[in-house]
Amino acid sequence: MSDATKYGQELWLLLAPTFDQATALDGFGTHPEKAQAFAGFIAAACGAMLTNTGHDYTMNVLAAIAQQVESIKSGSEVKH
């Protein structure tokens, strides 16, 4: 894992409790609303990444993320 990737992971772990609290307080803390809130957050981050790094790089990164997510077994102990 690159230093920048590790940094991004650590940044999310710092932000995750705020995201969880905010979605709960705003009435979006349960499924399917929380999943939709995640989708909006991720889509906005992807749009920013596309603007900053370009289409090809963004699509490559998203493909790598999709492969990692696909490999996670349901019920595993994944933190945020």
The pLDDT of residue 72 is 87
pLDDT digits 0-9 by tens, 17-75: 999 999 999 999 999 999 999 999 999 999 999 999 999 999 999 999 999 999 987 76
Verdict on whether the full-model pTM lies above 0.85: no
As a whole number of angstroms, the distance between CA 78 and CA 80 comes to 6
Q: Which two tokens stand for residue 15?
A: 């932000």
For position 78, what pLDDT does the model report?
57
Tell me which residue has tokens 């905010």: 22
Place of tokens 């992807």: 46
In three-state secondary structure terms, 18 is helix
Question: d(Cα 72, Cα 80) in Å, to the nearest integer?
Answer: 13
Over residues 4-15, the pLDDT tens digits come to 999 999 999 999
Q: How confident is the model at residue 1 (pLDDT cuts 50, 70, 90)?
A: confident
